[in-house]
Amino acid sequence: MANFRGKFRFGFIRILTATCGICSIAWAISSIPVYRTDAAFASAAQHILSGEKYTPDQLNILKLRLEATPASLLGPLALSNIVVIRLQMAITELASGNAQLAPSGLGDLDTAVTATLAENPTNSFLWLTEYWLQDVRDGKTSADPKLLRMSYLLGPNEGWIALRRSPVTLSVFSSLPDDLAEKAVTEFAGLVRSGFYVDAANILAGPGWAVHDKLLASLAPIDEGGRRWFAKVLESKNVEGVTVPGVDDKRSRPF
């Protein structure tokens, strides 16, 4: 009797082990397409975020790949990367001036953002993208500042987000509530403090020009070396009529 019980227990363990092994193999096989999809979209998203320019033809290839990918293969990572890709597509379509393409691209982006926020509501970049969408669709005075406030709350010090958020917030500076206006100025100073001199110079001369006096004044607490480097970048870009606090605008000697 004891021998029978021992054989039964041994057989049961073997069956259980084999079953677990088969389930693990099946899960791995079923997950391969998801991992491949995540990897494919992650590569494109990282290239876009790093500043690489995609041609309309390249973006169209990505669009066809997106449309051919079943929703069941899209994990949370893929969804986030798709938002980056869709955003670039929408920006490219808007820049092209094609009134027929732009609404379609914005609609696809809106769908992607909604789906991704449902999976990852703590993603600062998603809230920023949602705000940008409203800004483009409804106008600068109609976009909900709560969306922008969520972006700051969830990602206050992430450089790659700040580089994209600063131009958006400064372009609507006059319509921002006081707390967000203060965050926008502080964020610009943070870009200079972190050494993003070229990006900050482009922002100052572009969407931030209407409030360039406020932005420059915010640089006063930054160390002198950082302020001098920023002043040199402004000089190299021929940005005239500005003076970085504590730096003679005519001084261009090397350190």
pLDDT tens for each residue of 79-128: 899 999 999 998 888 887 765 556 778 888 999 999 999 999 999 999 99
The mean of the pLDDT values for the chain is 83
How far, in Å, CA of 120 to CA of 123, rounded?
6
pLDDT confidence of residue 231: 96
Contact yes or no for 82/41 (Cβ under 8 A): yes
Q: How confident is the model at residue 233 (pLDDT cuts 50, 70, 90)?
A: very high
Q: 134-179: per-residue pLDDT in tens?
A: 998 877 667 899 999 999 999 999 999 999 999 999 999 999 999 9
How far, in Å, CA of 167 to CA of 188, rounded?
9
Contact yes or no for 66/87 (Cβ under 8 A): no
Q: Which of 204, 215, 213, 214 is nearest to 238 (CA)?
A: 204
Residue 74 has pLDDT above 60, yes or no: yes
pLDDT confidence of residue 75: 78
Q: How confident is the model at residue 182 (pLDDT cuts 50, 70, 90)?
A: very high
pLDDT confidence of residue 117: 94
How far, in Å, CA of 180 to CA of 163, rounded?
16
**Between residues 122 and 248, the one the model is more confident about:** 122
Contact yes or no for 169/184 (Cβ under 8 A): yes
**Between residues 70 and 249, the one the model is more confident about:** 70
Angle subtended by helix axes 145-154 and 159-171, to nearest 10 = 160
Residue 40 has pLDDT above 50, yes or no: yes
Q: What percent of the chain has pLDDT over 70?
A: 78
pLDDT confidence of residue 54: 85
pTM: 0.79
DSSP 222: S
How far, in Å, CA of 204 to CA of 215, rounded?
8
Contact yes or no for 15/21 (Cβ under 8 A): no
Angle (nearest 5°) at CA 217 between 215 and 218 = 65
